[in-house]
Structure 1
Amino acid sequence: MPELPKTFDPAVIEARWYAHWESRGLFRPERPGAQPWTIVNPPPNVTGSLHVGHALDNTLQDILTRHARLQGKDALWVVGTDHAGIATQMVVERDLAAEGRKRTDLTREAFVERVWDWKERSGGAITAQLRRLGCSMDWANERFTMDEGFSAAVRHVFVQLHRDGLLYRDKRLVNWDPGLGTAISDLEVETREERGHFWHLRYPLADGSASIAVATTRPETMLADMAVAVHPDDERYRALVGCQLRLPITGRLIPIVADEHADPALGSGAVKITPGHDFNDFEVGRRMGIEARDMLNMLGARGEVAQVADRLIPADLLGLDRFEARTRIVALLGEAEALERVEERVIQRPYGDRSGVVIEPWLTDQWYVDAATLAKPAIEAVRSGAIRIVPKTWEKTFFNWMENIQPWCVSRQLWWGHRIPAWHADDGRVFVADNEADARAEAGEGTRLTQDADVLDTWFSSALWPFATLGWRNDLPCPEGEGLAALHGRYPNDVLVSGFDILFFWDARMMMQGLHFLGDVPFRTLYLHGLVRAADGQKMSKSKGNTVDPLGLIDRYGADALRFFMAATETQGRDIKMDERRVEGYRNFATKLWNAARFAQANGIGGSTTLEPPPATLPVNKWVIAQCVAMIQEVDLSLADYRFDAAAYAIYQFTWSRFCDWYLELIKPAASGDERGAVDDETRAVAGWVLDQILVVLHPFMPFITEELWHALAPREHELIVARWPRADARALDPAAAAEIEWLIRLVGEIRAARTELNVPPGARLHLFGGDANAETAARLDRQHPALSRLARLASIQLSAFPGSGAAQVVVDEATFSLPLDGVIDLAAERGRLAKAAAAAEKDRDGLAARLGNPSFAERAKPEAVDKARADHAERAAEAERLRAALARLG
């Protein structure tokens, strides 16, 4: 086999192996009759580029997919991209702006054609980046949410939901982005904390006898106020309920109403009610009996002041931008002596995450899905265990949201996307159909029809992802699950991996649509991971400048190191703190494995030819086989429970500590020829088998280096990506052999620690005396004499207590081992050094303990200062204990 280069360079191997796997079709190997296993990726936006959230999400999916493939399953990882209505339209509109043109300079059809052209030229950036991460997706069957087959499924679902009475047109409040001129979802609203104002206003009673104070962060909305609410139990206002107030500026009369939305403990206890511009006020308005069509809407689509039904807004305010109007209205309120005071306050303000414009709750006609009805089967699926949510702690949040779910607005005022399959007649009738011909047939001859101008929210189409990507079309029966057989056992999917932040926007909606249209859950397990945060725990954002480019990390450390970091830090229920030093550490782990393989090559250790461990008689070989089997068992259990961090830890600890640091050190004489010149074939066979198990088990986490080493160790009939997952056979365990090697490791470790603590020169070979050793320890010392002498740098080993003084002592089990140091180090100087250092550490420890015990420090200091003091205390306490132990070793 070609000799491995001395230096591990991930860049050299990554591109080569990925191209090889993909070109050979190994992401979807032919496995007729094998158990199907399916996962779908959360489709990234076609405009997107790889960020750390993608890196985490897709790494976890790839680990599960590669693991299933190694288990012999017909593993399918469905891949595709989302057409990303708003984001893609913005990209193309920016391109047009650079040419001095607007979208409206083109016909709708011409603009959509322009978007398709952009998609063909530039829409594949993120898929190339997913390849760099090592994602073993089924690229031969890549999907796109605007493909014709997928679009047919989207149209069918819309039409069928309408026929089922679960989709309708209604006037309600939405999150309106005046910059984009469209409704947006809650996920696309970014709430920012910033300095703002509370304007305290006074509204006089109609008869002028008194007034009521209200406060608002948006004084311009007073033009559309329809009531002032007070709590029913608030004695201050009980007599005024039902009375009329006269609005300043417009003079319009509005009632004082009783509603529990008003909190007597906040401000004056009275709140202005603007149903057309506030979500809470909208509900108050409905409780007042005001129909949505009668609620006042004082803003246009771009946030400009518009006239309301009673036409009382002064003409000089009409057409003003909402913030320009705010300044003018505040001035007018001041002139009318209706402005009581202005209070500076930190407020929460919603912004469009793409436009950067302040979002307005806006009253408009949109298409809605009856989410409350669709949610019921999904709730039952989770309650019954048909869908398992991991971690289980998310179930409470899921139930709370689903049981209080609001109608789902699915229309957007865009040109790019799935155009709503509804046609409007001049007389106001609306015909929902798969195509215009069907709509015309329903409308009757001579009826002029115009297709709805809106498109569907991308969450609507992506909710069909688990089945529309698998060939489900509008010619399949629906609902009741008749189409399941056509999906070839791929539905339900086995698992969905998702960020918790899209639990309701995507995951829950897939449950609703899958259960309604196919009669079964879309996935059996839903794994929700946390967010990747900056090193200080803050949420990453471009505005904060704390984002991390995963491609840059791959350039510096390799994809394997980044993947292993993501898995090792993915603890259920917790967010991940980005730590580049740990990524670098896992690059060092890869280098450690690379050097172990080079050692194997140099000593005739090759790949194994069997899944079963080779016969072993030597304790060290029995021990490493048992350790390897235990590691495989731990990885199996951890992956079954989606404990990625525990699986990564088990592999890391066994590979680095047990195999590389101890086993390879213990077998060096046997592998290269010991003092007697014997070459141990048994050890070579065992070492090769164990190294193969490491490569297979590590492959889902670090696919590139493991594939490279797999082929470097032996001629192979197949690639590692399609190898067989090892069996954790407990019959390979030998407790006695394992106990002996663990004893040896502890003894060597204690001797090495003593040498380090007492500043023994590295080259000094010491004598070891063993007192109080029982027969078992004596036999172990005899069998392990060569290894112990070499690893602990011993000149001799004597089975007796040391009769003199000035010796370091270590205790392992029942025996006390002594290392005479007279003449090796200056004992008096060493005792003095240790005593002085221990006293200094104890002084620091006690000072920190006193500070932490002071209530004033704990209450006034910043949390990070308290945390640092605790960490420093623990460190100095441990150091003091270590130094006192070292001093005690000298007697």
Structure 2
Amino acid sequence: MLHRSHNPIRDCYMDARTLAVVTDNTQQSPEPHGPHAASPADLPTQYTPAEVEETLYERWVERGYFEADAKSEKPPYTIVIPPPNVTGSLHLGHAFQHTMMDALTRRKRMQGYEALWLPGMDHAGIATQNKVEQQLAEEGRSRGDLGREAFVERVWQWKEEYGGKILGQMRRLGDGVDWSRERFTMDSGLSRAVQTVFKRMYDDGLIYQAERIINWCPRCLTAISDIEVDYQEDDGELVSIRYGATEEGGDSLVVATTRAETMLGDTAVAVHPDDERYAHLVGRTVKLPLTDREIPVVADSHVDPEFGTGAVKVTPAHDPNDFEIGRRHELPMPSVMDERGVITVHGPFEGLDRFEARSAIVAALREQGRIVAEKRPYVHSVGHCSRCKTTVEPRLSMQWWVKVGPLAKAAGDAVRDGRTQIHPAEMSYRYFDWVDNMHDWTISRQLWWGHRIPVWYGPDGEVVCVGPDEEPPSGEGWHQDPDVLDTWFSSGLWPFSTLGWPERTADLAKFYPTDVLVTGYDIIFFWVARMMMFGMYVMEEPPFHTIALHGLVRDQHGKKMSKSFGNVVDPLDWMEAYGSDALRFTLASGANPGTDVPIGEDWVKASRNFANKVWNATRFALMNGATVEGPLPDAAEMSATDRWILSRLDTVLGDVDRYYDDYQFAKLSDALYHFAWDEVFDWYVELAKTTFAAGGRPAEVSRRVLGEVLDVLLRLLHPIVPFVTEALWTALTGGASVVVADWPKPTGFRDEAAEQEIAVVQQAVTEVRRFRADQGLQPGQKVPARLELTGTPLGAHEDAIRQLLRLQPAGEDFRATASLPVAGATVGLDLSGAIDVEAERKRLGKDLAAAEKELKQTSAKLGNEAFLAKAPDHVVDKIRTRKATAEADIERIRQQLERLPG
């Protein structure tokens, strides 16, 4: 046990350290480093991430640091990972999201929580099936050649061999997930949960079968969800077609369409009920061109009379809006294409692909004189399958649906009454806009890979839904529904199915509901809302206390990353070049809640430099005797510099805690960066060097203070940059691992007097450094100086000031050629032998002449009334800025000339 005193300064942060276990990679060393700390020789002179990251990560996993204990009496803290697709690989969006989740979990673990970050993958129905079908195509085969059972077995083989690549990449990033609890949306436990929920919802009337318009991919041969449809601006054509009589003035109407091939399935023309132009035609029929059919003219308020001709063709089986019109007017709904987008209507267009048919139909209409107008190209938004890029076809289809009304209301109420908080709060509108206006959800997919719908059909029309503990019906004529469930169905159960539900497991009791969901605002509608609905329905409480929304990662210019733009970055490349910590710190530094995150390679380089700075400064501190052993000395023994840095440390610690609790990763990263680099390394270490050199008790005190500051700083940095902090913290303290060290707690220690005193020192040093730079002195160039510091706060810091400013003592022949009043003191400098005065005078004279010329020109323009009357405001403002700059330059240069030795 370390000796403790009850002095409040001495106890600063001491309760927040774990030092009892000596790591297997450190060696005992003599004082002043302490009996448990490592020698500086144990740290390489340079930090090379590739040499330590993998070793450290595997050590963490082997020691079980990331494994959560459901029997623990510690308070739980749970994050479930948004499960990446089994086909996926790590991209910057993953790295961004995982950095935040990992930081939150690591901090809570250090704070004494039983922290569970549960990993896993989604089976990704369409994406995975496509991967295997591509393999088969290369072999000259199709899934039909294998049959369903053999194909599914082939997908499982692919999953075992190639799937889960991203899991290895997560280790590279440093994800502190509990690998012992890894789940997959099609493992046996999650499959049982899916079947249980389907059965319950079916029995409750929340799952039903109906024929409606869905998004259909003619390449993947399945219905797809809205999130699987990518809209892009395509060059198409807009043709205006005359229906009814061929001559103008007869019983005819003109409709415009971008999809002429669908007219073969028209069953009406619709106009607005109040449109007097067509009132005489409502209730009558008109001839559908290229066919022998007469179709009615119906009045429907959905039609906008101000758009186009005010008349629209109605194709109920191939357009969602037309489908609703068709239902209201009880119109026939014939499909004119098969599942591959091939025309099935008997006649000259039968067997043509939909796009071939489009051209052929327009040509036939043109020949009949029914084309009133054509517009090419006509740029409009067209949906494409996100997997294969095929143009999506709206199609009438019998599918399985979830009745979302009561589920969505419960999900909305949970946020409205505060059981779940959305952060930032201003983004709640996105959530409510979705759950308050949600349409029933089509959950069936015409695939072979996925959770098969647990419904059996009998020979006499029987329909039986089977639960996980029930035997399906058997016998002649019975067969299972061939469709599988949308992957969002199983991933919607993720927060509780991964914890063992439907069994009442210890994990479920301990870790549900989870604490926070960290996810992008772009999938509120497709995943977040579904998890909220299922959580409320199954568990009767929301799955998350907080939904923390983040933005999307963009390039350094704020542009969306896209292969077509050529700006997509593989995060593994940056991790290989600069280390995982550098990437993580860069991502965290840009993470403002709910806003997009720009990132560029130069920023990752800068973060690498920061990691190197932390490494080098800690190594230097160890070489100079920084230690964590023994109690902190009494305040009376500390210098103002020591008390200042401890005061600043406590302030920063409180800031970091506040930013973490508000998910302000950018602010906490900024606070840590500037405290570490600007205050600890650039000021405290430099000010302490003279104390170290002098030796004695003051040096011992400062070594202990420096060790304390670095100990706390490394723990504060650890959740964001885990690798470099692990290597340094264990070397500094001899502790087992910073992963299981205690999170430091603010003590409330403040010393305003010390902070003010050091602020004066910083001001004085900064002013003299600026003067030296203005005189053209090199940073390391030494000059004689006489310091008159008596009666000022600077008096106690003369040795440090001289060291920082490279000022030599004044000799007998000292002659002050420049005198600077700074912070109530006077600094006299003898520059006679330090600079070429005549050359410096000539240089400054040229600069002065240029500034005076600029002032004359800008003054003349601003004094010209004609110019001011005609010039735009921004031009005038720019000239005013140039004039002010010139005036400031003139003043500065004249002062420099006055200070030059005569």
Task: Report the TM-score when normalising by structure 1.
Answer: 0.89
8 A contact 2:690–2:803 mirrored in 1: no
1:186 aligns with 2:226: yes
Following superposition, the deviation at residue 336 of structure 1 comes to 1.5
AA aligned to 2:302 is H
- CA–CA separation in structure 2 for the residues paired with 1:767 and 1:760: 14
Cα displacement (A) at 1:77: 0.5
State the Cα distance separating 1:205 from its structure 2 match: 5.0
State the 1:528 CA deviation.
Answer: 1.0
Question: Could you list the per-position Cα deviations for residues 690-720 of structure 1 after superposition, in whole angstroms to 9, with x for gaps in the alignment?
Answer: 001111010000000000011222322x211
Partner of 1:366: 399
User: 1:861 — aligned with what?
Assistant: none
1:781 aligns with 2:794: yes
**What is the letter of the counterpart of residue 760 of structure 2?**
W
2:193 is matched with which residue: 145, 153, 159?
153
Residue number in structure 2 paired with 1:216: 257
Distance in 2 of aligned mates of 1:199 and 1:808: 85
Change (3 A) 1:796 1:197: farther
Q: Which amino acid aligns with 1:746?
A: Q
Amino acid at match of 1:786: D
Summarize the alignment of residues 693-732 of structure 1 with structure 2, pairs less than 5 Å apart: 693-716=712-735, 718-730=736-748, 732=749
- Once the two structures are superposed, the pairs formed by residues 786-805 of structure 1 within 5 Å of their partners are 786-795=799-808
Whether contact under 8 Å (2:68, 2:178) holds in the other structure is no
Using the TM superposition, name which of 431-440 and 493-502 deviates more. Answer: 431-440
User: What is the one-letter code of the residue matched to 1:782?
Assistant: G
What do the CA deviations read for 1:676-699 (whole angstroms, capped 9, x no partner)?
777610000000000011110100
Residue type matched to 1:583 in 2? V
After superposition, the Cα gap between the structure-2 partners of 1:677 and 1:180, relative to the gap in structure 1 and judged at 3 Å, is: same
Deviation at 1:275, TM superposition (A): 2.1
Partner of 1:654: helix, strand, or coil?
A: helix
2:324 maps to which of 269, 278, 283: 283
SS at match of 1:198: strand
Map of 2:32 onto structure 1: none
**Other structure's SS at 1:272 match:** strand
* Cα deviation 1:397-426 (Å, max 9, x = unaligned): 111111110011111000011000001123
Hey, what does 1:655 align to over in structure 2? 676
The answer to whether the Cα contact below 8 Å between 1:202 and 1:213 also exists between their aligned partners in 2 is yes
Q: Which of 747, 752, 768 is 1:735 aligned to?
A: 752
- Distance in 2 between the 1:844 and 1:758 partners? 28
Aligned equivalent of 1:259 = 300
Cα distance 1:884–1:663, how it changes in 2: closer, same or farther (>3 A)?
A: farther
Counterpart for residue 461 of structure 1: 490
Range with bigger deviation, 232-241 or 12-21: 232-241
Shift of 1:253: 2.2
Counterpart code for 1:422: V
* Alpha-carbon spacing, 1:700–1:879, altered in 2? closer, same or farther (3 Å): farther
Per the alignment, residue 480 of structure 1 pairs with: none
Per-residue deviation, 1:228? 2.5
Fraction of identical pairs, as percent:
44
CA apart distance, 1:791:
1.4
For 2:335, the equivalent position in structure 1 comes to 297
Q: Distance in 2 between matches of 1:398 and 1:854?
A: 52
Q: Distance in 2 between matches of 1:882 and 1:689?
A: 45
Q: Select which of 592, 598, 601 maps to 1:571.
A: 592
Q: Which amino acid aligns with 1:227?
A: A
Root-mean-square deviation (CA, aligned residues, Å) is 3.2
**1:883 aligned partner:** 889
* DSSP 3-state at the match of 1:236: helix
Give the match's secondary structure for 1:240.
coil
- 2:53, 2:723 within 8 Å by CA — same for their partners in 1? yes
Structure 1 stretch displaced more, 424-433 or 104-113: 424-433
SS in 1 for 2:65: coil
Deviations 1:159-200 (A, max 9, x none): 100111111011111111100000111111111123222112
Equivalent residues of 1:275, 1:281 under 8 A apart: yes
* 1:667-678 equivalence runs, <5 A: 667-671=688-692, 673-674=693-694
Rounded to whole Å, the distance in 2 between the matches of 1:378 and 1:280 is: 27
Could you give the per-residue CA deviations for residues 556-598 of structure 1, whole angstroms, max 9, x where no partner exists? 0100000011100011221111211001100000000011011
From 43, 46, 49, give the equivalent of 2:89: 49
The yes-or-no answer on 1:383 pairing with 2:399 is no
Q: Distance in 2 between matches of 1:389 and 1:613?
A: 46
C-alpha distance 856-886 of structure 1, shift in aligned 2 (>3 A): closer
Q: Using the alignment, how far apart are the partners of 2:870 and 2:310 within structure 1?
A: 39
SS in 1 for 2:318: coil
Structure 2 partner of 1:747: 764
TM superposition shift of 1:879: 6.5
5 Å-filtered alignment, 1:42-191, equals: 42-191=82-231
Which residue of the partner structure matches residue 419 of structure 1? 452
Distance 1:535 1:274 in 2: 46
Separation in structure 1 between the aligned mates of residue 594 and residue 507 of structure 2, nearest angstrom = 37
Q: Please state if 1:270 is matched with 2:302.
A: no
Given that residues 582 and 604 in structure 2 are in contact (C-alpha distance below 8 angstroms), is that contact kept between their aligned partners in structure 1? yes
Given that residues 783 and 830 in structure 2 are in contact (C-alpha distance below 8 angstroms), is that contact kept between their aligned partners in structure 1?
A: no
* Higher RCO by CA contacts (8 Å cutoff, separation 6 or greater): 2
User: In the alignment, what sits opposite 2:605?
Assistant: 584
The Cα shift of 1:724 comes to 0.2
Separation in structure 1 between the aligned mates of residue 373 and residue 493 of structure 2, nearest angstrom: 52
Pick from 625, 647, 652 the counterpart of residue 604 of structure 1: 625
- Any unmatched runs of 5+ in structure 2? 1-37
Q: Distance in 2 between matches of 1:884 and 1:608?
A: 56
Offset at residue 529 of structure 1 (A): 0.8
Alignment of 1:541-556 (within 5 A): 541-556=562-577
Residues 1:326 and 2:366 aligned together: no
Q: Which amino acid aligns with 2:57?
A: Y
Farther off after superposition, 294-303 or 200-209: 200-209
Cα displacement (A) at 1:538: 2.4
TM-score (normalizing by structure 2)? 0.88
String of CA shifts for 1:45-97, please: whole Å, max 9, x gaps. 11111111111111111010101111111100110011111111111111112
2-structure distance, mates of 1:389, 1:395: 6
CA distance in structure 2 between the partners assigned to 1:175 and 1:667 by the alignment: 69
SS at 2:467's partner residue? coil
1:724 is paired with a residue whose SS is coil
Question: In the alignment, is the contact (CA less than 8 A) between 2:77 and 2:113 conserved in 1?
Answer: yes
Counterpart in 1 of 2:499? 470
Please point out which of 282, 285, 308 is paired with 1:241.
282
Deviations 1:250-306 (CA, angstroms, capped at 9, x unpaired): 14222333334333333223222222212222233333344xxx4222111111112
Cα distance in 2 for residues equivalent to 1:136 and 1:816: 55
SS at match of 1:316: coil
* Cα separation, 2, equivalents of 1:465 and 1:338: 56
Instruction: Check whether the contact 1:607–1:710 (CA below 8 A) recurs between aligned residues.
Output: no
1:524 corresponds in structure 2 to 545
The match for 1:689 is 708
Distance in 1 between residues matched to 2:861 and 2:156, nearest whole Å: 65
Q: 2:52 is paired with a residue of what secondary structure?
A: helix
Alignment correspondent of 1:338: 370
Tell me if the contact between 2:783 and 2:829 (Cα under 8 Å) persists in the aligned partners. no
Whole-angstrom CA distance in 2 between matches of 1:542 and 1:258:
47
Instruction: Give the distance between the partners of 1:876 and 1:106, measured in 2 at CA.
Output: 77
